[in-house]
A and B are shown apart, each in its own frame.
Chain A
Amino acid sequence: MHGSHTTGSPYAPHTEEDRSAMLEAVGAESVDDLFDIPDAVEFDGEFGIDARSERETRRLVRTILGRNDDLTELLGRGHYGYYVPSLVDHLADRSEFLTSYTQYQPEISQGFLQALFEYQSLLVELTGLEVANCSMYDAATALGEAATLAERVRDTSGHRVLVPDLLLEGRRSTLENYVAGTDLEVEEYPTDDANVDLAALEELVDEECVMVYAENPTVRGTIEEGLESVGDLASDHDALFVLGSDPVALSLLQRPADVGADVVVGDASVLGLPTSYGMGLGLFATTDDYLRQVPGRLVGASEDATDRRAFTLTLQTREQHIRRERATSNICTNQAWVALRTAMHAAYLGPNGMVDLAERGVTRAEDLAERLDDLVGVKAPVHDRHHLREFVARVDQPAPAIADDLEKRGFAVHVVGDHELQVCVAGVPDERIDPFVAAFREVIR
């Protein structure tokens, strides 16, 4: 039917006759007449981008991305490559999910709203907090939003935000940008063997402090042992306790509500997204106390005209389209489709599968650390702690050289110090562990 296209957008169905008829209907000679652009700013150049067929475009992208090496990634530090079941891809890619937008018309969007409601409910169970929003961009921006929430709800004169010295640079820097327009100042507290240094934190927390942030597990894969004390310290000084975590960790580790967390942030796409060069899903949960200060969209239950339960975006007076410069956040487009994927992946695993996945993250990390520790010139794990998914190993030789050599043998690990590597087992198939240990043995020889 539309084979007459030679140029133009392949996604506009118009025939030449259609165009003529339409121009006639609007009383214009040509499409140019419809543009009201002064000559002085009209663009008469070219972008110099050649059009391609679909097949050629696919080949182009495949060729470019073909320059990525195939490596077995033993990488984590905030972004994880768990196996995502086929169910998630096939169902999330149904075009009703993929091609709809924000549910401004809830009556025709019940399916997405329900999926997001179920996602929020998942987070409520995992965190023990009453309110979860239906997504922020990623863990770093969720942390930034937590800080601005702390500033709004704490009416002390305080301005200090305490974060661990281990905090990922990307999260720290994003947080700094989010608080740049406030009086808040970000300060580090020390860690002790990759756990909060409680004594040092106690010295630092005072009435000027609006927020204390900790992560579980830490970026070095260690599981925190003193979270209740952190929660107590924060609440004693009327500061918010913000805890960073993720759905896999939360399936097994202490429930945030039980350690006094006021806000939980983190990357929820640990479930639902495969490795995606850092693309994520900002988890954001908090207590009922701060309901009206929550950033982002919330899905709630209500009733329709037939009195049946129905879902809708709610409490929108917090949001930018209504509250403008007084909104709780500037977020509009969010990560809803990733939240859908996360909910699907969690539902696929079920509670048994989620707990099991987390427990295997503990045992597989411990097992691999033990095997590396057996090698001459390696100590693993460096920290005398329990670990989830990943751990730091000390190597006698320079770490960058070892990482390079491992890469030549097909394995990617993190370099986190002159003599420190970090190794993550999340998503690494069991059958790749033996070859990795063998390669490690070779490169440290």
Chain B
Amino acid sequence: MSDRDESDADPRAEQVRYDQARYVENGQYEPLLSEKDQTRVEIGASDGDDGDDSADGGSPLPDDLTRDSLELPELSEPELARHYTRLSQMIYGIDSGPYPLGSCTMKYNPKFTEDVAALPKVAVHPDRSERSVQGTLELMYRLQDYLGRIGGMDAVTLQPPAGAAGEFVGIRVAAAYHEHEGEGHRDEVIIPESAHGTNFASAALGGYEVVSLPSDEGGRVDLEALEAALSENTAALMLTNPNTLGLFERDIEEIAEMVHDVGGLLYYDGANLNALLGRARPGDMGFDVMHYNVHKTFATPHGGGGPGAGPVGVVDELAPFLPAPRVRSNGESKSEPGYELFDPEHTIGKVHGYQGNWLVLVKAFAYIARLGDEGLADASATAVLNANYLASRIGYEVPYEPFHHEFVASAGDQDAADVAKRMLDYGVHPPTTKWPEIVPEALMTEPTEVEGKGTLDRLAAAFNAVAAEDDETLESAPERTTARRIDQTSAARSPRLSWQALEPESESDE
């Protein structure tokens, strides 16, 4: 751990130079599978063309129930191993370097969680008898219990396959609850302008009018605006806390009271829970329903976009509306104590064909069990320390404080998207850009707890190096990544969404 004070003098001195892997063949990057091979297999009772590979030579089905042919690459295992290894080398992941993508909580994903999710006993079918999958049900029960304690919630469903799906469950639960109370006329969901896009989209999918709420000068919920927005038509207010600026909604108790006074429910978007573990719980703040982003807070891998899981916790009063089935202990009442599935009394039904992203849930359980109270609390404390330290080391202005696990800096006169592109050349993943819009040219930065001081210093050096560069450099960045700046307009103007849609000249000779 060397002393990095010098980096202040010349931010570029300490930069990590990063040259990403790049394969070029005939003037193109790594060819598509389809450019390596295309084999057409004819299907049909009379077929004899496809050589030795098709053992039976003819289709067991009549021609009118089958397709005519299937044309796909036919490659050997070593060729595929090389193809996918090369592709993987053209990807930047958390294990490649810091990944401070704001709001996404890109933590290190502990390796051992992959091992537990690969245990042979994990691989069970969802239609097995309850008696024969007691282990699965017990793990789910324990995870429901862990999450309930962590969020201060009374009942938890593990079914939603991602955060947005959790929001949708919350919205559907709110609708069912209001309907049940004879308040089915409530047709509005209030959402702060600075909220994540999924909040709006989930409320709309549930059939609600979205009422968008401006922030106050300090970047928090404007109580007057909230007062004006609330009415007997309010079904719910969706909030994250800390909010997307990283600020704690200090008036949360008053907000909860205001929402409850008009008969609305308070929804907690759990995307930012990594700020609060062991220090504050949504349930104690007056939230009635929340989702957990286990792929954020509980370190399950993001997998290039997913899968995640978005369990939902609720207070007692809402438990009868949760998706079916849930898991409970059948306690001592039965001759064979164990776990069973049950349908909540007024369940909204299902939001996934089965029980959600089981493999992800196993990893989340293992992470929580590994860290325990102390580890979880330390994760949040360190995440907040890291965000504060990093912010103190970068030159960009951070207009809203005091932030917690993330901060939103402003790129000022620079274009935030260009700043991000240039940061790629310094071997770091850039922040989330241009959101929330309340900060001009936003750089939303969340280092998480997994970066040590040295890495944060190097990350700060990357920010500062880019801050010192001219627009021309930024606009032509990145230059050391696998691909150079990609033309977004061309992609959208003439969509080419499959190898079948590519121009013939860019395909291999056939």
B329 within 8 A of A: no
A68 within 8 A of B: yes
Contact at B370–A132, with CB atoms within 8 Å? no
Query: What residue in chain A is nearest B58 (Cβ atoms)?
Result: A359
Stretch from A153-161, A206-214, A229-237, A301-309 at the B interface: A301-309
Contact at B278–A336, with CB atoms within 8 Å? no
29 residue pairs of the A-B complex, CB under 8 angstroms, read A10-B370, A12-B449, A14-B452, A22-B386, A43-B284, A54-B110, A58-B366, A62-B119, A95-B95, A100-B94, A101-B302, A103-B305, A109-B304, A110-B91, A135-B306, A139-B353, A173-B349, A258-B67, A279-B358, A303-B487, A305-B486, A309-B502, A321-B198, A330-B204, A334-B306, A337-B305, A350-B53, A386-B62, A414-B127
Question: Within B213-271, which residues are at the interface with A (CB < 8 Å)?
Answer: 247-248, 250, 252-253
Residue-wise, chain B 285-317 has the 8 Å CB interface mask toward A (1 for contact) of 100000001010001011111111010000000
* Chain B hits for A309, CB < 8 A: 28-29, 502, 506
Contact at B77–A47, with CB atoms within 8 Å? no
In this complex, how many residues of chain A approach chain B with their Cβ under 8 Å: the count is 191
Contact at A333–B358, with CB atoms within 8 Å? no
B33 within 8 A of A: yes
A262 within 8 A of B: no
Could you say which of B83, B88, B372, B386 has the most chain A C-beta atoms within 10 Å of its C-beta?
A: B88
Contact at A37–B163, with CB atoms within 8 Å? no
* Chain A hits for B348, CB < 8 A: 177
Query: What residue in chain B is nearest A297 (Cβ atoms)?
Result: B305
Could you say which of A85, A116, A320 has the most chain B C-beta atoms within 10 Å of its C-beta?
A: A320
* Chain B hits for A443, CB < 8 A: none
- Name the distance in Å between A175's Cβ and chain B's nearest Cβ: 9
* Chain A hits for B450, CB < 8 A: 11-13
Which 5 residue pairs spanning A and B have beta carbons closest together?
A: A278-B354, A181-B207, A337-B303, A51-B372, A336-B305
* Chain B hits for A68, CB < 8 A: 121, 124, 132-136
Residue-wise, chain A 193-231 has the 8 Å CB interface mask toward B (1 for contact) of 000000000000000000000000000000101000000
Beyond A51-B372, A101-B304, A250-B67, 10 additional pairs, beta carbon < 8 A:
A25-B389, A28-B388, A37-B279, A102-B302, A111-B91, A180-B206, A258-B67, A321-B196, A333-B162, A333-B302
Residue-wise, chain B 367-405 has the 8 Å CB interface mask toward A (1 for contact) of 011111111101101101110110111000000001010
CA–CA, A91 to B304, complex, Å?
Answer: 14
Contact at A308–B94, with CB atoms within 8 Å? no
Contact at B350–A107, with CB atoms within 8 Å? no
CA–CA, A302 to B55, complex, Å?
Answer: 41
* Chain A hits for B372, CB < 8 A: 47, 49-52
Stretch from B167-175, B408-416, B465-473 at the A interface: B167-175
CA–CA, A91 to B85, complex, Å?
Answer: 7
Contact at B497–A299, with CB atoms within 8 Å? yes
* Chain B hits for A347, CB < 8 A: 33, 72-73, 75, 80, 83
Contact at B56–A12, with CB atoms within 8 Å? no
Contact at A407–B382, with CB atoms within 8 Å? no
CA–CA, A97 to B248, complex, Å?
Answer: 34
Query: What residue in chain A is nearest B500 (Cβ atoms)?
Result: A124
B508 within 8 A of A: no
Residue-wise, chain B 121-163 has the 8 Å CB interface mask toward A (1 for contact) of 1111111110111111011001000100110100000000111
Contact (A350, B285) CB under 8 Å given A110-B483, A279-B307: no
Contact (A252, B43) CB under 8 Å given A330-B202, A352-B54: yes
Contact at A99–B122, with CB atoms within 8 Å? no
A332 within 8 A of B: yes
B482 within 8 A of A: yes
A148 within 8 A of B: yes
A375 within 8 A of B: no
Contact at A57–B134, with CB atoms within 8 Å? no
Contact (A334, B128) CB under 8 Å given A344-B84, A352-B74: no
B40 within 8 A of A: yes
Contact at A176–B135, with CB atoms within 8 Å? no
In this complex, how many residues of chain B approach chain A with their Cβ under 8 Å: the count is 209
- Name the distance in Å between A123's Cβ and chain B's nearest Cβ: 8
B464 within 8 A of A: no
B462 within 8 A of A: no
Contact at A331–B197, with CB atoms within 8 Å? no
Stretch from A72-80, A376-384, A391-399, A430-438 at the B interface: A72-80
CA–CA, A34 to B484, complex, Å?
Answer: 40
* Chain B hits for A278, CB < 8 A: 125-126, 352-356, 358
Contact (A54, B112) CB under 8 Å given A299-B497, A325-B200: yes
- Name the distance in Å between A355's Cβ and chain B's nearest Cβ: 5
Q: Which of A47, A65, A92, A332 contacts B162 (CB 8 A)?
A: A332
Contact (A8, B375) CB under 8 Å given A96-B89, A301-B491, A308-B29: yes
- Name the distance in Å between A418's Cβ and chain B's nearest Cβ: 17
A9 within 8 A of B: yes
B281 within 8 A of A: yes
- Name the distance in Å between A25's Cβ and chain B's nearest Cβ: 5
Residue-wise, chain B 309-335 has the 8 Å CB interface mask toward A (1 for contact) of 010000000000000100000000000
Contact at B353–A352, with CB atoms within 8 Å? no
* Chain A hits for B91, CB < 8 A: 96-97, 100, 108-112
* Chain B hits for A306, CB < 8 A: 484
Query: What residue in chain B is nearest A86 (Cβ atoms)?
Result: B77
Contact at A354–B72, with CB atoms within 8 Å? yes
Contact (A41, B498) CB under 8 Å given A18-B1, A51-B372: no
Contact at A75–B127, with CB atoms within 8 Å? yes
Residue-wise, chain B 7-21 has the 8 Å CB interface mask toward A (1 for contact) of 000000000000010
Contact at B498–A120, with CB atoms within 8 Å? yes
Contact at B197–A412, with CB atoms within 8 Å? no
Q: Which of A97, A254, A300, A323 contacts B88 (CB 8 A)?
A: A97
Contact at B485–A305, with CB atoms within 8 Å? yes
